[in-house]
Chains A and B, each alone.
Chain A
Amino acid sequence: MKKVLLIFLAILIVPSISFGQTSSDTCSATDSATPISASGVFAVSAVNGTAPNPICPDNTNSASNGEWYRYTPSDDYFVTVTTNLTQNSGKDTRVHIYTGTCASLQCLAGNDDVGPTNYLSTVYFSVTAGETYYIAWDNFWGVSSFDFELIESYSPPTVSFTTSTISAPGTDRGAVDMNGDFLDDIVSISTSTIYVNEQQSGGGFVLKNYPLAGGTYSASWSMAAGDFDRNGYNDLVYGNSSGAHVVKANSTGTGYSIAATSHSVFTQRTNFADFDNDGNLDIFLCDDTAPNEYFINDGTSLTLWEGDNPSAPIPGGLGVYSSGGNYGSVWIDYDNDGDSDLFIAKCGGEEARRRNHLFRNNGNLSFTEVSTTANMDDALSTWSSAWGDYDSDGDMDCFVGSSLSSESHKMMRNDNGIFVDATTSFGLDVFNDYGHENQPFDFNNDGYIDIFSNGNILLNNGNGTFGIISAGIPQEGAVGDLNNDGFLDVFNSSIYYNNGNGNHWINIELVGVASNINGIGARIEVSSPSFNNASSKKAQIRDVRSAQGFAYMSTLNTHFGLGSDTTINTITIYWPSGTVDVVVSPSVDQSIRITEGETLSLETTLTDDLILYPNPTKGKLNINTTYGLENAVYSVFDITGKRVLNDRMSTNTIDVSELSSGNYILRIINNGLIKTQKFIKQ
């Protein structure tokens, strides 16, 4: 972070001349002083005026004294105010940026520290010509004199954010829709209240306080969202070291009640996912000190299961090391077979306790731990991972974020289901900020998915390398589009609005019918002129996930940057039910809502070409077709349409011995084509 900033500073021509504007001791005194009206360096010689109030940075302690400036820009600019100048080395400043009048100041932005080891301050914000802004410094950390620079620019940095304050009581946890309009809201939690700052369709937020009766456990360690009772309003799961609550929204999204509780879990990452694939969202709870727990949702009730249990839906459990060590679970489809696999970032204790887990979903309600064969069983100290197709080759790679400066982050490239350490070739061996939070999103909408990691954006250059950008965002937070402009923002205490750029985008909102209503677990593929399966950059892919990273719940909408592409060929949704929807040629730069089954599916080829034998069969089905089946995924549906088997083809034979007797349909998807054929299991 520091390196980037130093380079940034080195290329600036630092003006040596002083400007006429001097600081004032009060806000109102600036109104009769000469305002700042252009870029420049300004000297603060004493901090002995009135302390700024309200406090704008995240460190909300009051100072005893401050110094004030007024700023009136002559044009619309992106503005940087910084004390991160060589002459200030070793000093410790804090800055507040206000709009409004001195009688009624509103925080626009604020910053205490540039970074963990640099106590100077840098703040980014955008301004409107002719408006008045106030810049105030304080002496909270004892500083008495320093210089600051104000830089006006017409173009934002590659990725940059403008901070904006918001009142969000409780523990900050989510940027996700709660009131059913698919606009991301801001969610914060106390034990007795669910706070929802509802994003308004015209911009801005309205805070709603929903009391929660009987709330015992805080959202200290994580929160996830999903509509498990499919009433159109997202529900929540969150917890602390003593237990976890599942909290459900009422039928109008205007009240919340506790639907289920675990009193036994030391909660870490929580997720909604339909891991028994019955169309109802289940809930996964990572346990720090014991085997993991999960709630199975049968459509009418939630049943809690702990660890392994022969009578449980998943008898072997999902991560059953006796003393736990489970931190960051995420449901991803690493083997491109259309069902959700589970990766768990683990940490602490002996090596066996902290080796990461990868569970492969076998598509028949069973899971196989493949950590070692897939080369994903690293024992590094990690609390979360970020999964995305970082090399645009059509499968999910994994950034495993280290929590410790003594251990390196790992970028694991997915080579057909086996992972290869490609940290160095991706240029991430030099990334040295560590922590708990890693989330994959495309922040600059260039079509290459980036990583929000510990206060940085690891910016995917699209050529197999990453740049490391300190972009004025917090160390961690929830990601969503909080002003509905197609660029992803960050929430943690304040909102960090993405300043955006000229790139195009599409935002996809799913409504499941046979699948869970959020479409969690769906694979979405967007094909556009620059990203399609006929080019070297494959169609972009996302899994719909609840949730990613360690503690926060980021948007359930699925966001794709498109770079300079102004058209989209297709959006393909592979729903967890097995349904496939294809939207042809949607417009760019919009949110598009796709309801399961509403579109034409993939092109279906003549079934004459798909010969199954023996048919009827007792165990094996042999497949005879003129097409190659190298990348094929097969699914078997029963007569109710429920998917009962799902996997990638490894040979031309499918084992159906575990199915009960009856009529079934085999479907094979290969290279964007569907083939189906009936068969009978004896």
Chain B
Amino acid sequence: MFKPYTYIALLLTLSLFASCTKDDGYVGVDPELISPVVFNIDSLPYDNLSEYNFFEGNIADLNPVYGVLPYGLNSALFSDYANKKRFVWMPKDSTAKYVNDYTTFDFPVGTILIKNFYYDNVLPDMSTKIIETRLMIKLEDDWTFANYVWNEEQTDATFTTQSKFLAFDWELNGETKSVNYKIPGFPECFTCHNKYDTPLPIGPKPQNINRNYLYPEGSKNQLAKWVEQGYLEDNYPSEIKSLVEWDDESQPLDLRVRSYFDINCAHCHSDQSYCEYASMRFEFNKTEDISNLGVCVESVFYINPSITHIVNPGITQRSALFFRISSDEDQYKMPLIGRTLNHIEGIELIEEWINSLTQNCN
């Protein structure tokens, strides 16, 4: 078994080798920072999010303690317009390894991925409301899931494995929107986050981390920052075929679409995944071949008599993919899990892309 160890709440301590004082005339060595995150692998998951000590100050401000490193994705999953704040933490002297551009980093035992789901401008009082904090924790053998649902007072979040609906209104770009937000239960987390029943994170792949992030000390490439933090071995290639931001209109349409598909669709539509049996392969590294996106691939699963192909070039109304991404009906909508609302901007992107295609399927 993995040896349990605990980091107690020492904010700062001096390394044994940093014993000199200014008066000695020696060049001082920076004090070594130790993360105050409380991590006892045998006691996981904790009942409350606060017990991990990921955040300092008012917990709802999500100000990370030392060692809890914020990160962002080049392209992010649509989750009913929820905002997300992501963090990664690893135990001392543990390092993730680059595998290839499109595979989740080989994270060390004890890694915790922290993803907070929140909405701004929640009505009636236009407040910020954190809904849930989802953790994926790398244990000795497998990743495990731990989901925490925030209380009404926003003072802490409680562990749960059950799904739950939460209905509220919020304002987005001056428009009032309503959502019946679904906090996923364990089977839903697992359905997207597994390869042949082995749990796996989706977001933190080199192709989706390779971007700059605005850290308190300034903007920096996230991979470089992870190396600096000691969270990543410094052996990744200088060129990484990376996703673009799907909504960055300065980027080519096909790259935006392929980035969107990768993060929204590929966790199920790929080898060893939940919908492996359907022919689409939406991973970024496989979609230069657009037949993997279903272009001119006949639609097998019946939707309505008009639908002929997964993607019928130039004809959204004959394209199953467009129908599904535009539907909020449970038996049709894609993604199947993780959204109840239509992603208007995503639909527009897909529509623009299908209309730009000129292949003749006959």
Contact = CB atoms under 8 A, between A and B. Distances in A.
B191 interface: yes
B276 interface: yes
A434 B337 contact: no
A140 B277 CA distance: 33
A437 B194 CA distance: 28
Given A221-B331, A240-B330, A349-B197, A403 B301 contact: yes
Interface stretch (B93-101, B256-264, B303-311): B303-311
A117 B308 CA distance: 6
B298 A117 contact: yes
B20 interface: no
Contacts of B274: 348-349
Given A220-B330, A289-B187, A323 B302 contact: no
Contacts of B187: 266, 287, 289-290, 323-324
Nearest to B360: A90
Contacts of B306: 58-59, 61, 112-113
A218 interface: yes
Classify chain A: how many residues form its interface, as a range. 35 or more
A540 interface: no
A435 B182 contact: no
A353 interface: yes
Given A220-B329, A353-B197, A58 B304 contact: yes
B305 A264 contact: no
Interface residues of B, number: 36
Contacts of A218: 329-330
Nearest to A142: B315
Interface in A331-355: 347-350, 353-354
Interface in A281-304: 287-290
Contacts of B29: none
Interface of B is mostly: loop
A57 interface: yes
B188 A289 contact: yes
Contact of A474 (B197, B275, B299, B305): B305
B292 interface: no
A116 B330 contact: no
A113 B299 CA distance: 14
A58 B305 contact: yes
Interface string B186-213: 0110110010110000000000000000
Contacts of A57: 305
A216 B165 CA distance: 10
A59 B277 contact: no
A403 B277 CA distance: 9
A59 B329 contact: no
Contact of B308 (A116, A263, A266, A454): A116
Contacts of B276: 348-349
Interface string B148-169: 0000000000000011010000
A476 interface: yes
Contacts of A434: 300
Interface string A218-232: 101100000000000
Contacts of B317: 59, 61
A217 to B, nearest CB: 8
A220 B302 contact: no
A116 B298 contact: yes
A241 B196 CA distance: 21
12 contacts: A116-B298, A218-B329, A241-B336, A263-B163, A266-B188, A288-B191, A289-B190, A323-B191, A323-B194, A348-B274, A403-B300, A435-B301
Closest 7 CB pairs of A and B: A220-B330, A475-B302, A289-B187, A220-B331, A240-B330, A59-B306, A350-B196
Given A289-B191, A350-B197, A434-B300, 12 more contacts: A58-B304, A59-B306, A90-B362, A112-B306, A116-B308, A216-B165, A241-B330, A323-B187, A348-B276, A353-B197, A475-B302, A475-B305
